[in-house]
Amino acid sequence: MISIWIKKVLQRSFHMIRFKKLLGKIFLTMKSLSPKAYTKGLVIVSAGMVTVLLLGTNGFIVNSKTNPEKVIDQDEKVVEEVDATKLEQTAQETELPQSSNLMKEEEDVKAVFEAASQETLNEKEIVIYTEEDFMALVKIVEAEATGEDVKGKIMVANVVLNRVKSDRFPNTIYDVVYQEYNGRAQFSPIDDGRIDSVTLTDATYEAVERALQGEDYSEGAMFFAARSMASSGAMSWFDNSLTKVAQYGVHEFYTY
């Protein structure tokens, strides 16, 4: 707005300069007239100057009144735009908590479904067993992990349970414990009879119960071996055919 006003002022100044030059030429012409004609001409020119000046002043006054109005109109427009923006922001802020609440509710529902899915998965991981299965597991853990602490016993029990869950082995604890391959038992205490001669301890019962409840340190192992007591040929098969995943106490644990 200011630049437009300055432009108009300069334009009017330019016109005033041209008018001044015109007056100079008129006065030079009037000097050649008679005194009476000069006097009349001077009156006419003076009246014309006053008229022009009044018109010019009115023009400036009109502009000076008009421009502020335009500025005020623009300011009012800016104020209206600012007010509209504030109203929109207020509306958004009012809706935001509702959106946040909806998002939170969706997240809560999702969390419930995920928890339910995980619970279902955990239920599938739990091995169903009978009393016969339970006693078979206690006996084999006692025979294989004699002298080991509770964690060592749990890891041996984990291997038996991992086999029950695998399609490669029988689907009950009892059948896994007493499984034979090429006429030989999978666990040496079955072959040498120690499974029926060991004294069952409270630590072994505790370890088996905790393993059946889902406590697992085996990293998915399906085999274990005590290198210090195994033959070199047997350990060669473990080392070359399987992947070692853990070691605890006297046992090393392997999987396919």
Boundaries of domain holding 154: 131-255
pLDDT for 73 beyond 70: no
pLDDT for 79 beyond 60: no
Strands (E), the chain: 180-181, 184-185, 223-225, 243-248, 251-255
* Confidence grade of residue 126 (pLDDT, cut at 50, 70, 90): confident
Lowest mean pLDDT among 18-22, 57-61, 101-105: 57-61
In this structure, are 144 and 210 located in the same domain? yes
Distance, CA of 215 to chain centre: 32
What is the per-residue pLDDT for 48? Answer: 61
Strand partners, 225: 252
pLDDT for 234 beyond 70: yes
Closest CA to 24 of 1, 45, 52: 45
Task: Report the number of distinct structural domains present in the chain.
Answer: 2
Report the percentage of the chain scoring pLDDT > 70. Answer: 52
Strand partners, 253: 224, 246
Strand partners, 168: none
* φ and ψ at residue 253, rounded to 5 degrees: -115, 140
Q: Dihedral sign for Cα 104, 109, 110, 116, please.
A: positive
What is the per-residue pLDDT for 123? Answer: 47
Each residue of 216-226: pLDDT tens digit?
Answer: 999 999 999 99
Q: What share of the chain is helix, strand, coil (3-state, %, to 5)?
A: 70, 5, 20
In this structure, are 135 and 250 located in the same domain? yes
Write the CATH number for 184. Answer: 1.10.10.2520
What is the per-residue pLDDT for 107? Answer: 75
What is the per-residue pLDDT for 31? Answer: 54
Lowest mean pLDDT among 29-33, 144-148, 168-172: 29-33
Would you say residue 106 lies in a domain? Answer: no
Strands (E), 140-234: 180-181, 184-185, 223-225
In this structure, are 94 and 194 located in the same domain? no
Would you say residue 108 lies in a domain? Answer: no
Residue with structure tokens 């946040």? Answer: 100
Whole-angstrom Cα distance, residue 97 to residue 92?
Answer: 9
